[in-house]
Amino acid sequence: MKFFVDSADLDAIAELADIGLVDGVTTNPSIIAKSGRDFKEVIAEICKLTPGHVSAEVVATSAEDMIKEGRILRKIAENVCVKLPLTMDGLKACNTLSKEEVPTNVTLCFSPNQALLAAKCGATYISPFIGRLDDITLDGLELIEDIRTIYDNYGYETEILAASIRNVNHVKECALIGADVMTAPPAVIKNLANHVLTDKGLAAFLKDWEKTGQSI
């Protein structure tokens, strides 16, 4: 499973990249707005932190304007992946940009049928939102499972990018189901390493070692 970081925090991305836990980055207009910086500059800097795809989202709503914005975003860096909304206009833009060999991430997916449409239009990634479905008492992980089955049935190459991940259990379940990619905030990725028994065991080892008076 690939790990994407859902953030525009350059320091947090760089920290995880140094550990080897960054295969790509996802952003959206809300995340960029929180940075308070120029959109294109932030995307360009993020692209330097990882050779993997960095999703940069269009803000237009018509297919024609999405295509124009997508082409502009693609010029920022070779690893920019154009993020498009799962609307009919977004699908049309996806189809056009995919034919131009522009990587695309179709986002705001909430149903298997939507995911099927994205794959038909040549999307590089489909981003089903787990947490937002859970928020309205639907099963976000079931959506990941349904998409996996459909894509495997027909050999679609579109990668399932599990998004709106809120906790470590989401990550585990997505890995078990077979999502190709997961994107999560830096804090969730770091929490994957945490376990009370690991902390307890390490404390015991260090205490016993200290009693020996030795050093390495």
pLDDT tens digit at each of 216 positions of the chain: 999 999 999 999 999 999 999 999 999 999 999 888 999 999 999 999 999 999 999 999 999 999 999 999 999 999 999 999 999 999 999 999 999 999 999 999 999 999 999 999 999 999 999 999 999 999 999 999 999 999 999 999 999 999 999 999 999 999 999 999 999 999 999 999 999 999 999 999 999 999 999 999
Q: Would you state the pLDDT for residue 34? A: 87
Q: What is the DSSP letter of 87?
A: S
pLDDT at 212: 96
Active site residue 75: no
What pLDDT was estimated at residue 154?
A: 98
User: Domain 2-212 has what CATH class?
Assistant: alpha beta
Looking at residue 35, its pLDDT comes to 86
Cα–Cα distance measured from residue 196 to residue 193, given in angstroms and rounded to the nearest whole number: 10
- The Cα–Cα gap between 28 and 45 comes to 15
What residue spans define the domains of the chain? 2-212
Q: Report the SS3 class of residue 164.
A: coil
Q: Which of 40, 83, 92, 172 is catalytic?
A: 83
DSSP state of 9: -
List CB contacts of 3: < 8 A, sequence separation 6 or more.
16, 21, 22, 23, 24, 181, 182, 183, 184, 189
The helix (run of H) or strand (run of E) holding residue 128 is strand 125-128
